Amino acid sequence: MRQLSTTLDALKRDQDNMRQLSTPLDALKRDQDDMRQLSTALDALKRDQDDVRQLSTPLDALKRDQDDIRQLSTPLDALKRDQDDMRQLSTTVDALKRDQDDMRQLSTTDDTLKRDLDKEGSRTAALEQRLHEMPSCPTGYTMFRGTCYKAFNTRKTFSDAAAACGEDGGTLAMPRDAETDTFLISLHSAVSGKRPFWFGLHDQREEGSFEWVDGSSLGTYNSWCPGEPNNNRGREDCVLHNSEDEWNDAPCNRKYRFICQIVPGRPLATGGTLTTNVLRLSDHPQ
Ligand SMILES: [Ca+2]
Ligand SMILES: [Ca+2]
């Protein structure tokens, strides 16, 4: 019994010891678990560190790039300033070119003006020369539309009147339009009132075919008195202005006042020849 009791006691002590041991053992187990967890975390940290290391390489590159960019920005700014300067220069050059073009145009205009002035001077001189050379009407003649006219207050046959005009270097007047005809009436009226007067129209060459003393045909204008020309008694081949200021054919050998005309500056040969023709025709027996 005693031995059993001793053993039992021993067992109880062992049990106590065991109990005492189990506590640190549990602690150890917990520590071991903690260690394991720590190891896992450490591994994770290590991986993170690797990742960071791997990241640091491109980051360094980025930093270097940033430095490079900073260094580049300085010349870039300089380039931008240069570019601005170039733009301003280009604007100035354009303005200068425009000025140059303006100058050229001005120079051309100036030359043109000088030439125009020279031309104008020459024209003025020529006109002055022509003015001096332009034959004015002889004494007693009056200018109308570039032709000189004179109303004679002496009575002559048609052929004698034509000859008198020829002596002045002209012909009997040939009013080819209403304005000239009206002018002749007023010119004659001023000299001898409402009396008939010869002018340069006749049908001596061909009966009924009236022509001017320069050989030209009558044309569109006429101022015949109603019923004229009637070639009365078959012997009316010369034309006069009657007292009603209208045209009438009359015998060429009758004596009436007359109006002559002279074209200034025109050679007299034509007029003279025609006058001769008229004279010759007029001399024919009626
Ligand atoms: Ca006739
Ligand atoms: Ca008549």
DSSP string spanning 236-249?
Answer: --EEEE-TTS-EEE
200 CA → ligand 2 middle, Å: 15
Q: Which ligand is nearest to the CA of 225?
A: 2
Say whether pLDDT at 87 is over 80: yes
188 CA → ligand 2 middle, Å: 21
| CA atoms of 109 and 2, how far apart (whole Å) | 154
Mean pLDDT of 239-262: 97
The one-character DSSP state at 93 is: H
What is the percent of the chain where pLDDT is above 70?
90
255 CA → ligand 2 middle, Å: 15
Residue 238's Cβ-count burial label (10 Å; 0-12, 13-18, 19+) is buried
Say whether pLDDT at 271 is over 50: no
235 CA → ligand 2 middle, Å: 9
Sequence-distant (6+) residues with CB within 8 A of 236 are 229, 230, 249, 250, 251
Comparing 46 with 175, the larger pLDDT belongs to 175
Q: Are 231 and 277 in contact (CB under 8 A)?
A: no
Q: Which residues pair with 260 in a beta bridge?
A: 150, 172
Residues at Cβ < 5 Å from ligand 2 ion: 228, 230, 232, 236, 248-249
* Residue 117 confidence class, pLDDT cut points 50, 70, 90: confident
Sequence-distant (6+) residues with CB within 8 A of 190 are 151
Tokens matching residue 22: 């189990």
165 CA → ligand 1 middle, Å: 22
Tokens matching residue 172: 């009997």
pTM for the model stands at: 0.51
Q: Which ligand is nearest to the CA of 250?
A: 2
225 CA → ligand 2 middle, Å: 9
217 CA → ligand 1 middle, Å: 15
Q: Are 261 and 238 in contact (CB under 8 A)?
A: no
Q: Is 197 helix (H, G, I), strand (E, B) or coil?
A: strand
143 CA → ligand 2 middle, Å: 30
Nearest to 195 by CA among 251, 242, 248: 242
Mean pLDDT of 57-83: 78
The string of pLDDT tens digits covering residues 168-206 is 999 999 999 999 999 999 999 999 899 999 999 999 999
The one-character DSSP state at 207 is: T
Tokens matching residue 135: 């034959």
Residue 224's Cβ-count burial label (10 Å; 0-12, 13-18, 19+) is middle
The per-residue pLDDT for 96 is 83
Segment (H or E) for 155:
strand 147-156
Name the CATH superfamily for 142-283. Mannose-Binding Protein A, subunit A (3.10.100.10)
Say whether pLDDT at 131 is over 80: no
Q: Are 172 and 162 in contact (CB under 8 A)?
A: yes
159 CA → ligand 1 middle, Å: 15
* Residue 134 confidence class, pLDDT cut points 50, 70, 90: low
* Distances 265 to 131, 262, 270 between C-alpha atoms, Å: 12, 9, 13
- Of 27-31, 176-180, 207-211, 254-258, which gets the smallest average pLDDT? 27-31
249 CA → ligand 1 middle, Å: 7
Mean pLDDT of 50-71: 78
Say whether pLDDT at 268 is over 70: no
107 CA → ligand 2 middle, Å: 73
Q: Which ligand is nearest to the CA of 208?
A: 1
Type of residue found at 192? S
Residues at Cβ < 5 Å from ligand 1 ion: 203, 231, 236-237
| CA atoms of 212 and 177, how far apart (whole Å) | 13
